[in-house]
Amino acid sequence: MTRLWNDPADFADEMVDGFVAANARSVRRITGGVARASATPAGQVAVVIGGGSGHYPAFGGLVGVGLAHGAAMGNLFASPSTQQVLAVARAVENGGGVLLSYGNYAGDVLNFDAAQERLRADGIPCESVAVTDDIFSAPADRSHERRGIAGDLAVFRIAAAAAERGGNLAEVARVASHANARTRSFGVAFSGCSLPGAAAPLFTVPQGRMAVGLGIHGEPGIDEVDIPTADGLAELLVERLLAERPADADGRVVPILNGLGSSKYEELFVVFRRVAQLLTEAGLEVVDPHVGEYCTSFDMAGLSLTLLWLDDELADLWEHPVDAPAYRRGAVAAPAGATLVHGSEQESRADAAASVPTADDASRDVAAAVVAALDVTAATIEAHVDELGRLDAIAGDGDHGIGMQRGARAAASAAREALAAGAGASTTLQRGADAWGDRAGGTSGALWGVMLGAIAARLGDDGTPDATAVATGVSDAAAAVTAYGKAELGDKTLVDALLPYATALREAVATGTPLAAAAEAAASVATTAAAETADLVPRRGRARTHGEHSLGTPDPGAHSFALIATAVAAVFTADSEGSR
């Protein structure tokens, strides 16, 4: 169980600060994560990796000479935000373009893809490779749907080696994709992990049983069996992985036996003893075996086995030396001193302090109502943070509560700052939207940022928007969320509460119902719709691989939306009564 923390919502930030303080020789703190302590050589492709915190040494521990140039580090088990990925990419890019690489999870795909689009729009060449090594998360004919787990290391190392050797962006992306296509992983767990501040682990495994096919974010296993002997476990892992041997594999393989957090090195060595025997008996040449912790899940007891099937090209790149805080291979020359290129924290603070657009008194009055709505949103999430985490842990990774907490807190704070600076309604809400997306990270953070931003665009910084403008903004938000997240009604997501809410609000306002009454009625519709998601099987997001586990439990995203809609409707009602 994770025992040491201050405020759980600050855990990821404080962890990164401590990591940098302990590894200043190799890394420096930048907005969004960490970067090499040495500058990126001119013209070299910058390899930017990332994902949620809680997986050390992934992702910050893999930043250093010969490996990643920077890592975008999200909240606990939540993808980094688009803003974080952008900040890290801009800080390390130095004329050669950027390769983004990350595990194939919904939030990571959303945020890294959005960052890629913005980098390209700014004239910075960018390509992405999502790691899909987890054989248990989807069948071979749908390998593009598979999750990324400890195979991240293989893909990151190959990509970085190609970049260090002078490959252009297209070449670095090609070899990264090639390595991904030849990497397979399979994991098991004996107990779940617990997030800081949580009273219980994200999932439990009965005594004497083993979860099979688990993810690295606290998702429960896809199957459950009796715990075998160490040799029996090695045989299970090797048998499943050899069944997916690439057709053109020549027999050279790098095995990576990865501890997930609580399994001790001695146990791993006992298992690897038999893994090595089995690989040799299968006629394979074992190259550079790895046994240790490379991608963990807090205090989870368990392990995974990864096989990287080499060919001449991959074998040559694999030998390139590496010197990162948590991973060293070969001899690397001492890095030069740090040189900030782009995206320093000082620049980010200066941008944040930029003057707000002009606004009239009427719009500033509406901005005050926006702040009140975001304040009550933050208070509502604070009151339900544990409940939302428990709902998310049923078939997901348990981070929804803490992610929403960080996002709502940040949005309310940013909105208050904007109001104090004289901002109007649109700017105030947009500042809140940006802060929510940036601080929350993950899928929900990205979607709430998009949603609030769409509403903000309809409010304006002059005058008082009427009920129709607000309802139209909510409809715009629903359209933006479905376009951005690709979810539809019935997928068991936020959309299942948001779309009915938007429709009910628009229809009520169209009949002349005052905004406060319309919002209250629409919130009731959203609450009912969120409760009905308990009968759905998820078709999107991390919960998709554990669909049946969530039957009988409402979707946490839909539930949190309904809670917020109800709380905000009460603010509208209080405002309307106070203005009489």
Do 241 and 307 contact (CB within 8 A), yes or no? yes
Nearest to 283 by CA among 236, 235, 249, 319: 249
Per the document, the length of the chain is: 580
Do 318 and 274 contact (CB within 8 A), yes or no? no
Q: Is 342 noted as a catalytic residue in this protein?
A: no
Paired tokens of 542: 């991390």
DSSP 533: G
Do 453 and 433 contact (CB within 8 A), yes or no? yes
Q: Tell me, what amino acid is at 476?
A: D
Instruction: Kindly report the backbone phi and psi dihedral angles of residue 291, in degrees, each rounded to the nearest multiple of 5, phi listed first.
Output: -135, 120
Cα distances (Å, whole numbers) of residue 185 to 178, 214, 245: 16, 11, 11
Which helix (H) or strand (E) segment holds residue 73: the answer is strand 70-76
Strands (E), 204-250: 209-212, 223-226
Handedness of CA 476, 481, 482, 484 (dihedral sign): positive
Residues 6+ apart with CB under 8 A from 466: none
User: Annotated catalytic residue: which of 55, 69, 178, 217?
Assistant: 217
Nearest to 222 by CA among 299, 139, 141: 139
Nearest-angstrom CA–CA distance, 558 and 300 = 28
SS3 169: helix
Do 142 and 124 contact (CB within 8 A), yes or no? no
DSSP 123: T
Residue 420 CB: number of other CB atoms within 10 A? 11
Half-sphere exposure of 175 (CA within 13 A, CB side): 28
Q: Spell 231-240 as b/e; 16+ CB within 10 A means b.
A: eebbbbbbeb
Paired tokens of 513: 């119902």
Do 149 and 217 contact (CB within 8 A), yes or no? no
Sole residue written with tokens 């030998």: 319
Paired tokens of 286: 């074992």
* Exposed/middle/buried for residue 222 (C-beta within 10 Å: 0-12, 13-18, 19+): middle
The residues carrying an active-site annotation are: 217
